[in-house]
Structure formats: C-alpha cells, structure tokens
Amino acid sequence: MTWRAALLLAAGALTLPAWPSPLAGMLVMTGAVLLLVVLDRALAVPPSALTATRDGDRTVRLGGTATVVLHLGNPSARTLRAQVRDAWVPSAGARPDVPPTRLVRVEPGRSAALPSRLTPTRRGDRPAVALTVRSLGPLGLGFRQRSERPATPPWTLRVLPRFDSRRHLPEKLSRLRVIDGTQVTRGRGQGTEFDTLREYVVGDDVRSIDWRASARRADVLVRTWRPERDRRLVCVLDTGRTSAIRVGDEPRLDTAIDAALLLTALAARAGDRVDLLAADTAVRATVTGTGRPALLPRLVHALAPLQPALVETDFDLIAGELLRRQRQRSLVVLFTALEAGALSAGLLPVLPRLAARHRVLIAATHDPVLTALTTAVPAQPRDAYAAAAGWRALAERDRIRAALARHGVLVVDAPAGRLAPTLADTYLRLKSQAQL
C-alpha cells in the first residue's frame, strides 16, 4: 500500500463522530480501505511482464559524462504507472533524468526511454546494479514490486584513465624530434644507428665524413646518424598491495598508469615497440604492441579496469613472464614502490636474471609529505620527531636504491605529480645516449 491508503484511512477517521457505532465504523472503513488496496494492486501491471533493455555509451574518460538509456517496454494491455529506480554503483555518479520519486507512464504496447547521466568518480568498470520497478494501480493505493522483475539488463561503463600527463606530450615530442634530427633547432640528429650517406655541406661535422665512401665517389660524403628505432620497451605495472596506497589524492596505481600512458605515447612516436604487463600474484593484463596506430587506445582499454589487489606481488612470476615473452633485449620499466620490505624480499632475488637480459628501470613515486617533513624548519618537538622519521625513511629508500644500482638498475623516484614527465625525460635521455 502507499501513503494514499494511509491518508484515506486518516480522512475517514474524521467522519467517525457521525457514525452510530464508532467501533463498527472503524472496522468497516479499515476493511474498505484494505479491500481497495487489494483491488488496486490486482489492477496494476505485473512487473514481470515488462521488458527492459539498455543502450548508450560503453566507455567514458574519467571526469567526463556518459549517457546510458534504459528502455522500459510495456507489452501488457494496461497502462503502466510506475516508479523506476535504476541503481548504479555509487562511484558511477548516476543521475537519472526521471528521478525515482516521479511516476513514469507507459501506454500499452509502447516503451519509455529513461536516460541516466553518469559522471564517474573513479577509474575502472562501473556496473549497473539493480533495476527496481514499482508498478502502481490505477488508484495509486496499492503497488506491485518484486526484485529482479523485470530482470536488470546488464551494463558496464568502462571509465578510462584521465591521462592528465598528455599535456606534457607536445613538449616531449618536440624534444624527440630534436633528438631524431627531423627538426633542426639545436643541430642535426644525434644517434648511433647509421642512417644514410649524403653529400657534405659546409657546416657538417668533419668527424662524420666517411672517407671510405668518399674515396669510392668523387664527392665528400658524410654519414648521418639517427637514434635507434624498433627498440623494445616493456611497461610492467605492479598491481599488488603497494600500488593501493594513496599518493597525493589518487592510488599509486593510477599515477603509474598515467606515466605508462605518456611513456607509451612517446615511445610509439619514436618508433619503438611497446608491450605492457600488469601483474600481482597473477597476470592481470597484457598488451603486445604490434599494430602501432591503435596501440594507445588498446592500452587505455586494457589498463582501465585494473584495480590494486591487496596481495604481495610475485616478482618471480613477473620475471618469468618477461623472460619468456621478450627474447630481445628491451628496456623494462617497472612501476612499483621503493619499499624495502616488498622489493628486497621479492624483486632483488630475481633481479640478476632480469638485468642480465634486459635494461631495467624502476619508476616509483613518493609522497610529497615526506619531503615536506624533512625540509620544513621544525617548530615543535613533534616536528623534530617527524623529521627524524622522515630522514630515516629516506635513508631506507637510499639503501634500496643503492642495492638496485648494484645490479645496474636505473631508478626514477619522483613525487606523485612529477612521475610522468620525469620518466619521459629519462627515456629521452636514454634514447639520445643510445642506451636502449
């Protein structure tokens, strides 16, 4: 029954003084209202007869708004008057155009479109949870409602990472072009890979004159060099427990995904082949970069549903996967946390095997709070203790960094917002120095 039944009963109560026998009047009125409710409920459209389908956006970038439309069909012979609640998970940020308090009317044989606007607050797959239809009778006194009648049409909105660091991309690309030699701002291209021979023009470096080729021809030829192309780059994302920790205002994994996307975009433009592996105790996602044009969208889709798992990462598994997949020497960029416990127990034992085949780079973020603790002038005894704890954490990180450096591993350790550009700079430096 609805509030109308209660209101009807309350209004009827006011007529009681006029009844010859008030007690009998009360019983008669209550019985009448109950009878009306039962009758009204029987006249309501049964929810199990309804049909529900969805269409609309499948993906949205984090921060954007998607629209998913629910089509509620009424195949019965009666007009449907219903309250409809289309529930999504809270982080999907769903705002239905027709709120559940408003009545939806669907004529017999027709269907109604009920759009929902979704502004997700977190990356990942955001599913629709439950569709509830409360079918009211013609008087609005009684209703029918059963869970999963009609069944909730499944729909999952994939929220893609925001890729905030793409604002750094033009600058990094221009630096790449300088290194590549296609854009002469600082000089000609540098590199170690032989490109072509061309005639000497005034201003060329005399050290790059190829005397042997000049001897064969009647002209002075210079060798041109370019950075190596078709190098291999593997991004490895650690989705274990250390990636769940919040650095700044997002999980460490999101920072890593952002940096990985920038690095991939840059490396794909530089002509390198990019693979991706995400793993904790099991492999969560792999992307093998073959078709270059569509690499970035595919990578984004593969990374979007990744969630941190609260388990210790199995670096043995990661090393095995890398050694099995990557036969050629590659640059392995491992996105993890510089945490003594996790790395010394997991990574250090397998690092020699990995470093023997590949060039390993560890990209880690740290909390800017730590830096603030150690650089601020202490004002209270509490600050002095905090500074001591901060310095101790930094010293521990230095120790693990030194241990990693002994294996020839490069470490990029940047505060949360600076990881992506710092990593891109490191990549460009390696590229220009032909250390890939």
Partner 1 sequence: MTATTTAGARTGATTTAKGRGGRGRRWHRIVIPLGLAALLLTTTLVTHAVDQPDPDAGFLSPVATGDHGGSRLAAALRERGVTVQRETTTAAALAAVRSAPATLFVPAPALLRRETVRALDRLPARTRLVLVDPARPVLVSAGLPLLPGERRWAAQALGPAAGGLPCQLPELGGVGSAAVGLQRYTAGSYRPEQVQFCFAGALARVSGAVEQVAVGASDPFRNDRIAEWDNLAFATGLLGVTGRVVWLDLAEPEPPPATGTGRPSRTPATEDGPGTGTGDGSGDGTGTGDGRGGPGEPGQPGGPGGGDQSGSGDGDGEAADRDDPPNPLWAAFPPWFWALLAQLALAVLFLALWRARRLGPPAAEPLPVTVRSAETVLGRARLYQRAGAREAAARTLREAALTRLLPRLNLPADAAPDRVAGAVAARTGAEPAATEELLYGGEPETDQDLLELARALDGVTRTVAPPASPDVPLPDRTEGEPR
Report the distance separating Cα 402 and Cα 85, nearest Å. Answer: 57
Residues in the chain: 436
| Binding-residue pattern over the window 120 to 159 for partner 1, x denoting contact by CB under 8 A | --x--x---xxxx-x----------x-x------------
Number of residues located near partner 1, criterion CB under 8 A = 106
Pick 25 or 181: Cβ nearer partner 1: 25
Contacts to partner 1 from residues 406-425, by CB under 8 A:
409-415, 422, 425
In the complex, what is the shortest distance from the CB of residue 92 to partner 1, in angstroms, rounded to a whole number?
9
Span 351-370, contacts to partner 1 by CB under 8 A = 366-370
Taking the mean position of all CA atoms in its chain, how far away is CA 370? 26
CB of 142: closest distance to partner 1 in angstroms? 10
How distant, in Å, are the alpha carbons of 82, 85, 156 from that of 100?
9, 5, 21
DSSP reduced 3-state for 15: coil
Show the tokens assigned to 192. 């170690």
* Binding residues for partner 1 restricted to 253-282, rule: CB under 8 A: 282
Nearer to partner 1, 184 or 402 (CB): 402
Span near partner 1 by CB under 8 A; candidates 6-14, 62-70, 112-120, 218-226: 6-14
For partner 1, which stretch binds (CB under 8 A), given 25-33, 213-221, 265-273, 351-359? 25-33
The C-alpha atoms of residue 143 and residue 166 are separated, in whole angstroms, by 53
Q: Rounded to an integer, what distance in angstroms lies between the CA atom of residue 331 and that of residue 319?
A: 13
Asked if 66 and 54 count as a contact pair (C-beta separation under 8 A), the reply is no
The region of 48-56, 183-191, 210-218, 393-401 touching partner 1 under the rule CB under 8 A is: 393-401
Q: Angle of helix 22-43 relative to helix 3-13, nearest 10 degrees?
A: 160
Residue 227 or 308: the one with the smaller Cβ distance to partner 1 is 308
Nearest Cα neighbor of 162 from 62, 52, 12 is 62
Q: How far is the CB of 69 from partner 1 (least distance, A)?
A: 19
Q: Does 293 bind partner 1 (CB under 8 A)?
A: no
Question: If binding is defined by CB under 8 A, does position 247 make contact with partner 1?
Answer: yes
Range 85-104, binding partner 1 (CB under 8 A): 85, 87-91, 100
CB nearer to partner 1: pick between 185 and 375: 375
State how far the Cα of 40 lies from the Cα of 34, in Å rounded to an integer: 10
Write the DSSP assignment of 220-255 as a string of letters. Answer: -EEEEEE---S-EEEEEEE-SGGGTSEETTEEHHHH
Is 388 one of the binding residues for partner 1 (CB under 8 A)? yes
Bridge partners for 133 per DSSP: 84
**Pick 33 or 80: Cβ nearer partner 1:** 33
Residue 289 within binding range of partner 1, rule CB under 8 A: yes
Residue the block writes with tokens 């970038």: 61
Determine, following the binding rule CB under 8 A, whether residue 181 of this chain makes contact with partner 1. Answer: no
Using CB under 8 A, which residues numbered 303 to 332 contact partner 1? 305-310
Smallest distance, Å, CB 189 to partner 1?
24
Tell the smallest beta-carbon distance from residue 81 to partner 1 (Å): 15
335 binds partner 1 (CB under 8 A): no
303: left (phi > 0), else alpha (psi -120 to 50), else beta? Answer: alpha
Stretch that binds partner 1, among 42-50, 180-188, 207-215, 302-310 (CB under 8 A): 302-310
Segment contacting partner 1 by CB under 8 A, of 14-22, 57-65, 112-120, 176-184 = 14-22
Tokens 């869970």 appear where? 147
Check binding of 71 to partner 1 (CB under 8 A): no
Give me 72's structure tokens. 């509620």
Q: Which is nearer to partner 1, 52 or 221 (CB)?
A: 52
Site residues for partner 1, 37-56, by CB under 8 A, read none
**Residue 244, amino acid:** A
Longest dimension (CA), the chain: 130
Kindly give the interhelix angle for 252-269 and 169-180, rounded to the nearest 10 degrees. 40
Neighbouring-strand partners of residue 142: none
Residue number with CB closer to partner 1 (95 or 198): 95
Binding to partner 1 by residue 73, rule CB under 8 A? no
403 binds partner 1 per the rule CB under 8 A: no
- Are residues 368 and 416 in contact, defined by beta-carbon separation less than 8 angstroms? yes
| Smallest separation (angstroms) from partner 1 to the CB of 298 | 5
DSSP assignment letter at 78: S
Q: Phi/psi at 87 (nearest 5 deg)?
A: -95, 130
List the one residue from 203, 206, 212, 291 that touches partner 1 (CB under 8 A).
291
Q: What b-and-e string marks burial along 321-333, b requiring 16 or more CB atoms within 10 Å of the CB? A: bbeeebeeebbbb
